[in-house]
Amino acid sequence: MERSLTMEIVRVTEAAALASARWMGRGKKEEADDAATTAMRDVFDTIPMRGTVVIGEGEMDEAPMLYIGEKLGTGTGPLVDIAVDPLEGTNIVAKGTTNALTVIAIGDHGKVLHAPDMYMKKIAVGPEAVGKININAPTVDNLKAVAKAKNKEVEDLVVILLDRPRHQQIIEEIREAGARIRLIQDGDVAAAINTAFDETGIDLFMGTGGAPEGVIAAIALKCLGGEMQGQLVPQNDEEIARCHKMGITDIDKVFYMDDFCGGDDAIFAATGVTDGELLKGVQFKGTKAKTQTVVMRAKSGTVRFIDGEHSLRKKPNLVMKPE
């Protein structure tokens, strides 16, 4: 995987963020997602790589672009698998709340898990607690293990998870153990990534969310030296059949880091659309716009925060207000 690809994909997430940010607070999540997807796809055409979408907007008959199996890039350069979420947090943008991102994760060809679009039980931590978690252990045991690894009391931990009725039991277990909780409405990719950055104040991510988002977050954590574990949670016979189709005969299989993304290299980039703990959202300043992006590479361990300033005069489609 070429080093130059790390910076190239920043242009992709920036373009998607600029396009979707125009829809912030307008209550139209589909329009925001379409804007991000179109912008992302356009820039992908300029990047020197031979990419295949393995996590995207759906199957070929479900999405007009960035569909699973679509070929991206100029047709020259490294051969890679691509996991994309053009707008991680469509509801967030529609409501104008926090932690919406545009994200891309890239791994060596054939090394990125093609996760079915269904629920996945997940647990994630940053570098300090790697090797200390167990997705099938009692909640209190994981809390104690993470606290010990981070030289904290359980009462000092902050656990982040989606505010969903299905998480009521785990919420009660966390509270009974004495840890603190941050509930979020959407955006569990950002939540998982935040465990790897001290300044976010997040120690542990738990709960059930989308499996494709789990793959993307796991690739980010691979770059950051963190850890995620996951288990698919099929809801019906059709979803069980989809698991079997992708070769997963053991429905209780635990996915570890090498299952999510094998090989020794991976790249991840995310640009903030709305403000969050880690990244600022897009700010429009008359004829200019500002973005903030994090980009990282597993092989080198490099993490870069990039502040971008963009001329809107050269991008009339971004200056025009949506109807």
Q: Are 278 and 271 in contact (CB under 8 A)?
A: no
48 carries a ligand binding annotation: no
Residues 34, 36, 41, 42, CA torsion sign: positive
Query: 91 burial class (0-12, 13-18, 19+ CB within 10 angstroms)?
Result: middle
64 carries a ligand binding annotation: no
188 carries a ligand binding annotation: yes
Could you tell me which residues are beta bridge partners of residue 267? 106, 297
213 carries a ligand binding annotation: yes
198 carries a ligand binding annotation: no
Could you tell me which residues are beta bridge partners of residue 159? 181, 204
256 carries a ligand binding annotation: no
247 carries a ligand binding annotation: no
75 carries a ligand binding annotation: no
Gyration radius of the chain's alpha carbons: 19
Of the CA atoms within 13 Å of residue 294, those in its CB half-sphere come to 22
210 carries a ligand binding annotation: yes
67 carries a ligand binding annotation: no
163 carries a ligand binding annotation: no
237 carries a ligand binding annotation: no
238 carries a ligand binding annotation: no
45 carries a ligand binding annotation: no
165 carries a ligand binding annotation: yes
Binding site residue list: 33, 57, 85, 88-90, 119, 164-166, 186-188, 210, 213
Binding residues for Mn(2+): 33, 57, 85, 88, 213
Binding positions for substrate are 88-90, 119, 164-166, 186-188, 210
